[in-house]
A and B are shown apart, each in its own frame.
Chain A
Amino acid sequence: MTQGLEKAAAIYADRSRRARELKAEGKKVTGYMCAYPPLEMLTALELVPFRILGDCGQPVSKADACLPSVVCPFVRSSLDLALKGEYEFLDGVVMAHSCDVVEKTAHIWNIYLKPDFFHFIDVPHSTHSAAIAQHRNLLKEFRGVLEKLAGQKMTDGMLKEAIAAHNRQRALVRQLYDLRKASPPPVSGVETLKVMLAMMSLPVDEGSRLLQDIIKEVKERQPKNSCKARLLLWGSILDSADLIEMVENLNADLVMDDVCTGSRFFWPDVEVTDDPLDGLAERYLVDLKCPRTYRQQHDDYAASLESRFGYLRGYAESWQVDGAIMQSMRYCDIHGYEVPAVRDYFGSIGLPSLYIEYGYSRSGMAQLKTRVQAFLETLDGR
């Protein structure tokens, strides 16, 4: 029998295989980009959510005709794969206003690829009550669109059941991450990211069953003692394990992350409210901690930092990290602008940090490796 981690790694290596199988069985597969489309609504109507990602190992050849080359290489690559026909199996596409590049790309996608079903959620960019109310309206509209697509009503009961299923998966993800608090961690950062990316390629319950197997497998492991540095990774999306692999090959364990293909995506539960839309609106707009959303600043800078990044202190303490790597995808404005504040916050809690810009290519890895290695050498001298 194949073990869970091995299964997850196989899904990571061939992400769309399972989705194609499900399609052949008559299921409808819906692609989504970034962390903002509420997957619970897709799940409620048995539309299989499938996260759209890029492939940093493939040169961009078609997307340059419709997107400038100086934008997020992850988004360029995702669109490129679609233009090459690699997302042809998707029955529909849901995108959200996660950032301006994704917003533009959503409409380019719709125009060039003409999916049978396309919906764009214009998620507000702030968290005050009017924005939450507006987001709730958008989700209500999305619900209607999906009902029309599925030819079926989405009752509150169905939606609450789907919320419970996704919350169960979130709890399992947190359970897996909790195991990494041990020193040495029984599961590596590379393995964890592959599991997370596998979760985003499977129907929720199927993913949760796999996660249960993986947790059992990891609990049985007895890792050998080591004196590797324990690191926290903050930053932009990572849709391949390359960067973490480079770091972990350098005598370091990446034990915790705040990345939208990792903990950031799964961490907050959706509160099951009387009207399920209230809980969904709150979770996706307020609880999801992506720098694309403006959060009220205090007059006092230190207080601002604490209210925005306090959760990172919790991560650093609970996972006992020695240092943090801040990583921003090249041309990612929203993460790039956030770096100085995150760096200041790490500084304020006495956590050494390193900033690297990820060029989304394997060829640039040697230069990043020198920086990470030098950073580890500075930690070693402490």
Chain B
Amino acid sequence: MAARKYYAGIDLGSTMTKAAIADEEGNIIVKVAGPTGAEHRRLANLVMLQAFKEAGLTLNDIGYVVATGYGRVNVPFADCQITELTCHARGVSHLFPAAGTAIDIGGQDAKGLTISSGRLVDFVMNDRCAAGTGRFLEMMATTLGIRLEEMGEISLAAREKVEISNTCTVFAQSEIVALLSQGRPLPDILAGVHDAIASRVVRMVSSLKVRPDVVLTGGVALNRAVVAAITEKLGCPVLVPEEPLFTGANGAALLAPEMARRAASKGEPVRERHLAELRLYEES
């Protein structure tokens, strides 16, 4: 058997699937992302395969695989599942050892984490609702007829931010249609949209004791205007990793050696793994 000197993490988010591979020294050597989208869900193994390809490795080189994200229970080649909260905390601490608070805004949820000595100690998550998540931004981009990626840049040109009074995604959409018909400029509307999401997230995170350093991760952290709005509302600097999408997958890969040691100490055998398609339900 080949020496299993590498560790893998796979983070199945609602929108994107992310994979990361770490070496024995705890360096992330490869990161790959692909859409989770409805028809891609069963193909998350391809994201993992792509990561192996880029690293020049095979599944046999991997000592332990940790799955995380909302689809974590559906990864047949994973050795264990850890929640995205614990994985994000680990991933964030790896990049920012002094991090005290992390805010992750993903496609369908938002969470706040309190981190102490690199570990998750407390957390808060949004309710079953798209408000304050990436989905909210996606819907607003569609309504305004622009691409998600350009939202941040456009809104930085705002002169007078509009007030979006509804954080409910559906109501906010009709509010925006009304603002457009009043002739309000696009950057002003976008600034209002970003302000709405930032308010919602900051309100949620405030139920934790927010301690610096504050780190923002998740796909929404790519939007500069949201970062600026959150910074303003929190009244302290907000750090954003270069690749904010990968903290969960990185954390999963970095937690894998510890999980492998624990499994070994319990005498659990290393089981054979296959890069099978993941299944979200039992197919007959």
Residues of A within 8 A of B (CB): 357, 359, 364, 366-367, 370-371, 373-374, 377-378, 381
Contacts and interface: CB of A to CB of B under 8 A. Distances in A.
A351 B218 CA distance: 31
A374 B86 contact: yes
A322 to B, nearest CB: 14
Interface of B: 70, 82-86, 119-123, 125, 127-128
Nearest to A367: B128
A370 B72 CA distance: 10
Contact of B123 (A357, A364, A374): A374
B121 A378 contact: yes
Given A373-B83, A377-B83, 10 more contacts: A370-B83, A374-B85, A377-B82, A377-B85, A377-B86, A378-B86, A378-B119, A378-B122, A381-B119, A381-B120
A243 to B, nearest CB: 16
> A-side binding surface: helix, strand, loop or mixed?
helix
B128 A370 contact: no
A377 B86 CA distance: 7
Contacts, number: 32
B83 A374 contact: yes
User: Lowest 4 A-B CB distances belong to which pairs?
Assistant: A374-B85, A374-B83, A377-B86, A381-B119
Contacts of A371: 123, 125
B120 A370 contact: no
A55 to B, nearest CB: 21
Q: Which of A367, A371, A373, A374 has its CB near the most chain B CB atoms (within 10 A)?
A: A374
A371 B84 CA distance: 10
Nearest to B113: A374
A377 B120 contact: yes
Given A374-B85, A377-B86, A366 B70 contact: yes
A273 to B, nearest CB: 46
A307 B85 CA distance: 35
B125 A370 contact: yes
25 contacts: A359-B128, A364-B128, A366-B70, A367-B125, A367-B128, A370-B70, A370-B83, A370-B84, A370-B85, A371-B123, A371-B125, A373-B83, A374-B83, A374-B85, A374-B120, A377-B83, A377-B85, A377-B86, A377-B120, A378-B86, A378-B119, A378-B121, A378-B123, A381-B119, A381-B120
Contacts of B122: 378
Contacts of B83: 370, 373-374, 377
Contacts of A381: 119-120
Nearest to A375: B123
Contacts of A373: 83
A371 B83 CA distance: 8
A114 to B, nearest CB: 38
B119 to A, nearest CB: 5
A381 B119 CA distance: 7
B265 to A, nearest CB: 11
A246 B44 CA distance: 26
A370 B128 CA distance: 13
